[in-house]
Amino acid sequence: MENDIIRKIKEGKLEKFELKSESLEEELENIIIDLVSKLTLMRMEQGVSQKELAEKIGTKQTAISRLENASSNPSLKFLLKITKALGGEMKITPHGKYTYTIPENYRETFEKIAKSEGKTIQEKIDALISMEIMNFSYKKIKVEFKNFNRKSNRKSKNNENAFKAA
């Protein structure tokens, strides 16, 4: 029987699924739940069964099942083994929501784009972010200039009317 986490993964509701933590222990538990959810999704997307994954890392299928059903407390080493067996790489970062992962279905294309421009993936990401910031700034300046012109035109008309009245 699939638990709530796996159901939410399959329905694509993982982004909306946020746990609030009251303590450091709860926060750590939430981090582990999030990682296990992502690993479960990775396994399912690759079409790897729990048994096949277990064989790859030298454990039993029941250990993978307990992990995915949140009925075990996995070690970091165990999670790292699973990550590597699925072709992933584990990074721990203090940057939270500012850490972005390019979705699997865009990675190959994104790498080709970066390579065709003679850039690394990180350089391409930096260039895209810079371009978005410049576009945002340009639009903001354009709106402010438009508003400034409106105010100036109103003042000019008011001055003209005052001059005519005098």
What is the DSSP secondary-structure string of 93-139?
A: -TTGGG-----HHHHHHHHHHHHHTT--HHHHHHHHHHHHHHHHHHH
pTM of the model: 0.58
Q: Is the pLDDT of residue 61 over 80?
A: yes
Question: What mean pLDDT do residues 23-44 have?
Answer: 88
Do residues 44 and 9 touch, judged by C-beta distance below 8 A?
yes
What's residue 107's pLDDT? 87
Interval 76-108: pLDDT, tens: 999 999 999 999 988 888 887 788 888 888 889
d(CA 132, CA 122): 15
**In CATH, what is the architecture of 4-94?**
Orthogonal Bundle (1.10)
Question: How far are the Cα atoms of 104, 126, 135 from residue 140, in angstroms, in the given order?
Answer: 34, 21, 9
Q: Counting beta carbons within 10 angstroms of the beta carbon of residue 95, is it exposed (0 to 12), middle (13 to 18) or buried (19 or more)?
A: exposed
Each residue's pLDDT tens digit, 107-134? 899 999 999 999 999 899 999 989 998 8
**How many percent of the chain have pLDDT more than 70?**
73
Domain ranges of the chain: 4-94, 102-166
